Structure 1
Amino acid sequence: MTQITISDIDINYKIKGSGKPLLMIMGLSFSLLDWGKKFTEVLAKNYQLILFDNRDAGLTSPSPQPYSLVEMADDTAGLLDGLNIPKAHVFGVSMGGAIAQHFALKYPDKLDKLILGCTMAGGKCSQMGDISGVINVNLLDLLFTSTFIHSHRQELTDFLAKTTPLHSRDAALQRQLQAFASHDTYDTLSDIRATTLIITGDKDIAIPRSNSDLLATKISNAKLEIIADASHGFAYSNAEIIADLIRLFLK
């Protein structure tokens, strides 16, 4: 465990690989382990990955009070400052993609290229799907298609046995949910100037594809990639495909 104190919390982080910095922002409840070993190992061949646990998740300390996604973007910027990294590519998934939007808006000078995975603009113009699996710990159906589950059940069972104990629970999860619920960048997305790649799965039940379509129309310099037969956990189920898309985009 490696930690750095940023503002009022101790952030757990891990550096993997070498090359241009690529900051990875995880989604609601999950820890840095949820990226999966295969996906991070492939990306680490070309980039210096900065993996970390959001406040109230993983081995990062709990938050002493409620917060917003803007404050979580502040955590992200503080982590880069603490690591003496002036600028990085940023890849955020789900709630992490929402945090990445706020980072892009508030800290444009710290951002190179932006990647938004299975995320949303928030507010009244977005469509939230079924995220009950986070609360009742039915993560297989939340993250993966039935076909992928059927062919990888034991692997997924073993993976979740390692990752689930680090997920947010109780008051910590409620604070993250409240922060995510207040997310709304719809009216400011056109202010994002970074070249942006938007990725989503065509079978995502948590944050449906329509949200990525909206992001692609509102962010001026954005490209949309739809992953066939993929759900919310596409970075794990389609690791090589997603890694190839990212490497091509960041070239």
Structure 2
Amino acid sequence: MPTAHVNGLDLYYERAGSGPPLLFISGTGGDLRNKPNQFDGPFPKAFDVVSYDQRGLGRSDKPDVAYSMADYADDASALMGELGIDRAHIVGVSFGGMVAQELVLRHPRRVNRLVLACTSPGGAGGASFPFHEIDHLKGEARARYLTPISDTRRDAAWAEANPDTYRQIIAISSADPYGEEPGHEMGARRQLEARAHHDTWDRLDQIEAPTLIAAGRYDGIALPATQENLASRIKGSTLRFFEGGHLFMIQDRTATATMIRFLNGEEI
């Protein structure tokens, strides 16, 4: 099992593909055992992709201590160093986009080009949906609560008109195959605690890396207005909306292709 010892932790990672290096930072609860994932899409066909289970998640260490967004960013930088990657493109999705913001601010020399997907700056720029406030909801109850928020088109009327699709979404969203593992619940909670304190708003104007902000038009978790705030604060950034909600990268096939063109320095 490939692990890198960084900042006193063993982080599980995977690496695949060829081309310029790309670090893909996953969202809340990210676990590389869940398939399909970033290695099953187009990114490894264009880049040397590295992704990992963040502290407290998946097959990485889960210390029962407070985590900070700075810790997550420093983990990402240290992992790159351990793997001999001085500089890379960064794709951060949702919570991973929050980590990516901290990474480029704390370790700017690590970042070549940056994609921030369905994420938020926090603070006065707008926070993402407060998952820590619904941590008591589990399984199907949580899935039913979040489905119309994740994609605002999937309201009660839509669910009634599309019962089979709705049942499939709830079944998939309810599954947590590793929920009983030691440390799983604690690590997930520690991540939500760190997420609740995310705030890069007053520092975003320090970002100099070429940046693409990618988002879903119907995302009720990372709101469209928040994406506009991000774009207004990061100088020279490009904002693109796609047809989907928080999972727009799956819902709109043009999204990942646009990201790849951006990372390659092409017109989008």
Q: TM-score, normalised by structure 1?
A: 0.87
Task: Give yes or no for contact 1:112–1:194 (8 Å, CA) kept in 2.
Answer: yes
Relative to structure 1, the CA distance from residue 7 to residue 123 in structure 2 (aligned partners, 3 Å threshold; closer, same or farther) is same
The one-letter code sitting in structure 2 at the alignment partner of 1:27 is G
Once residues 38 and 127 of structure 2 are traced to their aligned partners in structure 1, the CA distance between those partners, rounded to angstroms, is 31
Alignment of 1:179-194 (within 5 A): 179-194=194-209
Partner in structure 1 of residue 177 of structure 2: 165
Once residues 45 and 222 of structure 2 are traced to their aligned partners in structure 1, the CA distance between those partners, rounded to angstroms, is 30
- Please state how far the C-alpha of 1:160 moved relative to its aligned partner: 6.9
- Please state how far the C-alpha of 1:250 moved relative to its aligned partner: 1.3
Partner in structure 1 of residue 59 of structure 2: 59
Unpaired segments ≥5 residues, structure 1: none
Partner in structure 1 of residue 120 of structure 2: 120
Task: Give yes or no for contact 1:30–1:166 (8 Å, CA) kept in 2.
Answer: no
Aligned length: 247
- Please state how far the C-alpha of 1:39 moved relative to its aligned partner: 6.7
Once residues 38 and 50 of structure 1 are traced to their aligned partners in structure 2, the CA distance between those partners, rounded to angstroms, is 10
Partner in structure 2 of residue 80 of structure 1: 80
Relative to structure 1, the CA distance from residue 39 to residue 60 in structure 2 (aligned partners, 3 Å threshold; closer, same or farther) is closer
- Please state how far the C-alpha of 1:80 moved relative to its aligned partner: 0.3
- Please state how far the C-alpha of 1:105 moved relative to its aligned partner: 0.6
- Please state how far the C-alpha of 1:125 moved relative to its aligned partner: 3.2
Relative to structure 1, the CA distance from residue 127 to residue 179 in structure 2 (aligned partners, 3 Å threshold; closer, same or farther) is closer
Partner in structure 1 of residue 44 of structure 2: 44
- Please state how far the C-alpha of 1:170 moved relative to its aligned partner: 2.7
1:22-46 CA distances to partner (integer Å, 9 max, x unpaired)? 1011112222355734774311111
Q: TM-score, normalised by structure 2?
A: 0.82
Greater Rg, structure 1 or structure 2? 2
Task: Give yes or no for contact 1:17–1:47 (8 Å, CA) kept in 2.
Answer: yes
Instruction: Say which SS state the counterpart of residue 45 (structure 2) adopts.
Output: coil
Runs of 4+ more than 4 Å apart: 142-145, 147-161, 166-169
Relative to structure 1, the CA distance from residue 215 to residue 17 in structure 2 (aligned partners, 3 Å threshold; closer, same or farther) is same
Relative to structure 1, the CA distance from residue 156 to residue 79 in structure 2 (aligned partners, 3 Å threshold; closer, same or farther) is farther
Alignment of 1:27-38 (within 5 A): 27-33=27-33, 36-37=36-37
Partner in structure 2 of residue 195 of structure 1: 210
- Please state how far the C-alpha of 1:71 moved relative to its aligned partner: 0.9
Alignment of 1:125-136 (within 5 A): 125-129=125-129, 131=131, 132=134, 135-136=137-138
Task: Give yes or no for contact 1:39–1:236 (8 Å, CA) kept in 2.
Answer: no
Alignment of 1:17-36 (within 5 A): 17-33=17-33, 36=36
Relative to structure 1, the CA distance from residue 41 to residue 151 in structure 2 (aligned partners, 3 Å threshold; closer, same or farther) is same
Instruction: Say which SS state the counterpart of residue 32 (structure 1) adopts.
Output: coil
- Please state how far the C-alpha of 1:113 moved relative to its aligned partner: 0.3
Partner in structure 2 of residue 214 of structure 1: 229
Aligned with 1:205 (options 220, 232, 236): 220
Q: Does 1:235 align with 2:237?
A: no
Task: Give yes or no for contact 1:36–1:236 (8 Å, CA) kept in 2.
Answer: no
- Please state how far the C-alpha of 1:158 moved relative to its aligned partner: 6.0
Relative to structure 1, the CA distance from residue 143 to residue 51 in structure 2 (aligned partners, 3 Å threshold; closer, same or farther) is farther
Once residues 70 and 25 of structure 2 are traced to their aligned partners in structure 1, the CA distance between those partners, rounded to angstroms, is 13
Identity level (%): 29
Q: Is the deviation greater in 144-153 or in 19-28?
A: 144-153
Once residues 33 and 227 of structure 2 are traced to their aligned partners in structure 1, the CA distance between those partners, rounded to angstroms, is 25
Task: Give yes or no for contact 1:121–1:215 (8 Å, CA) kept in 2.
Answer: yes
Once residues 42 and 150 of structure 2 are traced to their aligned partners in structure 1, the CA distance between those partners, rounded to angstroms, is 21
Once residues 9 and 223 of structure 2 are traced to their aligned partners in structure 1, the CA distance between those partners, rounded to angstroms, is 32
